[in-house]
Structure 1
Amino acid sequence: MPYIWSDVGDARQMRATPHRSLPRKGFVWFIGITASLLCLPLLAVLGNVILWALLPFMLAAIAAIWWAIELSYRSGTSEEILRITPERITVTRLDPDGAKREWSANPYWIRATIRPGPVDDYLTLTGDHESGREIELGAFLTPEERRDLQRDVNRELARIRGTG
């Protein structure tokens, strides 16, 4: 599960991170195997001037694959932290560019809802009468994980209020 619940003092905290299907060790193997397979056709032109014409394109292809996977790793550094206490619910979002955004409200009025949106099973925290805002939660989770998270958040909110 890409999100984990824990107890921190009198608060209940959830930390969510994007799933990474290719670990760093797998990345090294993938680049090595890809480079080897792309260089195989070069064996046929070894010792020929054509080798020098094809080599830059092979290197550019490997560099492009490397760059794309590194970009994916950088986007995977985002994180969401949901903290629920009897007095406050706080969501802290750490973006890949290092920006930190925070939102908080009285947990008595908040509920996690799934509604139509830009992604399937769009999960939001709604009901904040203080600011009137609605925020998205778990944007990088799968639809099934967002449904599970909605149930978990509503259960924790009910428990903190003493109604569940």
Structure 2
Amino acid sequence: MPYQWTLSETAHGDVECLRLWPHRSLPRWGFAVFILITCVMFTMPLFPLLGTATLWGLLPFLVLAVWGVWYALQRSYRDAAMGEELTIGREEVHLRRTNARGPVQDWESQSYWTKVHMHPTGGPVPHYVTLKGKGREVEIGAFLSEDERKALYGEIAEALKRMVEPDPVVGPL
């Protein structure tokens, strides 16, 4: 899944951190292999044209086609360079969304008053997950798949519940 939970200790107690990122179906090494194969496939029909003027007429268009594919894939990588970080502590919940091309967005609320909601319909995507607190409702994980959002909803609800429950009594005083 394209998200990961971590637990860290701070001066204010334990904090659960969630990092989310969009799924990449083509890794960087796959991008390099794809461009290499594309170049090889484009040059194969040019072998019979070696030494002719037609080669020089076709070559700019083939180079332009390879550049177009390269540019489109690079643009896709830049658009997916986004992520979200959710920090759940005993006192405060903080969500930071890093957009691909735009400002970083921050939201925070007190842990006790923060609620997680799932909207099965009516949102921009099915099973839309939001956090509500301090008079605002913000989305989280809209770029995840539907099954991942369903699982994420339960995990965030459990993490909030763990953090706002009072510490168990160690023993009699």
Question: Which residue of 81, 94, 97 maps to 1:93?
Answer: 97
Question: Is 2:13 the partner of 1:7?
Answer: no
Q: CA offsets, 1:136-160, max 9 Å, x none?
A: 1012211111111111000111111
Question: Is 2:119 the partner of 1:141?
Answer: no
Displacement of 1:98: 6.4
Residues in 1 aligned to 2:72 and 2:86: alpha-carbon distance in whole angstroms: 30
Question: Is 2:158 the partner of 1:161?
Answer: no
Residues in 2 aligned to 1:110 and 1:102: alpha-carbon distance in whole angstroms: 15
Which structure has more strand as a fraction of its residues?
A: 2
Count of matched residue pairs:
160
Question: Is 2:107 the partner of 1:103?
Answer: yes
For residue 103 of structure 1, give the secondary structure of its aligned residue in structure 2.
strand
For residue 149 of structure 2, give the secondary structure of its aligned residue in structure 1.
helix
Question: Which residue of 4, 29, 37 maps to 1:25?
Answer: 29
| Residue in structure 2 matched with residue 117 of structure 1 by the alignment | 123
Q: CA offsets, 1:112-157, max 9 Å, x none?
A: 222121122221112x2x2x21111012211111111111000111
Root-mean-square deviation (Å)? 1.6
Residues in 1 aligned to 2:54 and 2:127: alpha-carbon distance in whole angstroms: 53
Question: Which residue of 62, 65, 74 maps to 1:61?
Answer: 65
Residues in 1 aligned to 2:124 and 2:68: alpha-carbon distance in whole angstroms: 29
| Residue in structure 2 matched with residue 84 of structure 1 by the alignment | 88
Displacement of 1:15: 0.6
For residue 111 of structure 2, give the secondary structure of its aligned residue in structure 1.
coil
Letter of the 1:99 counterpart: P
Question: Is 2:39 the partner of 1:41?
Answer: no
Letter of the 1:8 counterpart: S
Displacement of 1:47: 2.1
Residues in 2 aligned to 1:134 and 1:62: alpha-carbon distance in whole angstroms: 44
Letter of the 1:63 counterpart: W
List alignment gaps of at least 5 residues for structure 1.
none
Letter of the 2:136 counterpart: R
Letter of the 2:158 counterpart: R
For residue 62 of structure 1, give the secondary structure of its aligned residue in structure 2.
helix
Displacement of 1:107: 2.0
Displacement of 1:23: 1.8
Farther-moved stretch of structure 1 (59-68 vs 44-53): 44-53
* Paired-residue identity, %: 39
Letter of the 2:31 counterpart: F
Displacement of 1:106: 1.5
Displacement of 1:45: 2.3
Higher-Rg member (1/2): 2
Q: CA offsets, 1:5-34, max 9 Å, x none?
A: 111211111011112222222211110001
Residues in 2 aligned to 1:56 and 1:122: alpha-carbon distance in whole angstroms: 47
